[in-house]
């Protein structure tokens, strides 16, 4: 098996590294996707809330990409939770993308206070049965959210997409997902370069392996079995972020990075997100 491919619990293949397109605008989308395709990316992660599904779909069309050559992820936004609403907005996402299916659809946040993530997920199960979604999953779910979801639904999520980086490694959630064969996909995997890449341990290891700090951090994720979706619109960084399959980290160095954990979130706490938040 190609080291850059992960097999999900339903047998589907997913690239371990994808391009997150959050905040990539129409102005930059074509060039970003072109650079990513040339660098070897085949997974592109968007969401209804990002307001750029249409731009992503158009860029892929303009670049002559065949549908079966790429893996497309999108997400159901908080405001549209509920069975019928999910079906409605999923079809809007398909229209935006100009596609008749997605490879992965996620519940964007649990919104347990006033959300309907169980009903939303059941709608995703229906879409999976119809073939409109090849795989389904969740984002920003903690173990207690997953416990409730698994108890009340039929399909164990294929993916849980969470904030994860060396300063916030989410070990409890990682362990839960490993035990239940749910792939963990890290958003903000290099912490949007908010000081992490200047950490003396990361810098030292980058020098040791002849790689950049970002490559060392992304390889650390891969060594832990995670998938990653670093976001960039810069050609050089796009190329850098996927060039992580020609080296491995020694076990002692993986542990050094593990020990950087500070349990510091950069994003929101999923337990505190309600419908209407995060606009």
Binding residues for substrate: 108
Sign of torsion, CA 120 124 129 132?
Answer: positive
**110 touches 141 (CB < 8 A):** yes
Which residues are annotated as part of the binding site? 108
Residue 87 CA to residue 120 CA, distance in Å, equals 9
Instruction: Give 73's strand partners.
Output: 45, 104
Task: Tell me the C-alpha to C-alpha distance, in Å, between residue 260 and each of 5, 167, 168, 253.
Answer: 27, 6, 9, 11
Tell me if 206 sits within 8 A of 215, measured CB to CB: yes
Give the active site residue among 22, 30, 50, 121. Answer: 50
The DSSP letter of residue 265 is: -
β-strand pairing of 13-15 with 183-187: unpaired
Active site residue 50: yes
Q: Which residues are catalytic?
A: 50
């Amino acid at each position: 098996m190609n080291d850059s491919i992960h097999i999900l619990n339903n047998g589907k293949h997913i690239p371990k590294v994808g391009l997150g397109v959050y905040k990539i605008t129409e102005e930059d989308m074509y060039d970003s996707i072109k650079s990513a395709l040339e660098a070897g990316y085949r997974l592109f992660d968007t969401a209804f809330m990002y307001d750029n599904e249409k731009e992503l779909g158009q860029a892929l069309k303009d670049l002559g990409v065949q549908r079966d050559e790429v893996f497309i992820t999108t997400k159901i936004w908080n405001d549209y939770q509920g069975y019928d609403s999910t079906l409605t907005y999923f079809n809007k996402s398909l229209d935006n993308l100009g596609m008749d299916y997605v490879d992965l659809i996620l519940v964007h946040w649990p919104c347990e206070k006033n959300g309907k993530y169980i009903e939303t997920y059941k709608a995703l199960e229906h879409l999976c049965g119809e073939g409109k979604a090849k795989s389904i999953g969740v984002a920003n779910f903690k173990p207690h959210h997953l416990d409730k979801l698994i108890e009340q639904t039929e399909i164990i999520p294929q993916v849980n997409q969470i904030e994860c980086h060396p300063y916030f490694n989410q070990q409890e959630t990682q362990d839960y997902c490993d035990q239940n064969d749910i792939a963990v996909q890290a958003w903000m995997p290099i912490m949007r370069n908010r000081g992490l890449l200047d950490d003396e341990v990361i810098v030292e290891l980058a020098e040791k392996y002849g790689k950049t700090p970002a490559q060392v951090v992304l390889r650390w994720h891969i060594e832990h079995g995670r998938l990653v979706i670093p976001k960039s619109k810069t050609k050089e960084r796009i190329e850098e972020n996927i060039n992580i399959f020609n080296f491995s980290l020694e076990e002692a160095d993986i542990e050094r990075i593990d020990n950087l954990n500070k349990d510091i979130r950069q994003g929101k706490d999923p337990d505190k997100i309600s419908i209407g938040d995060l606009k």
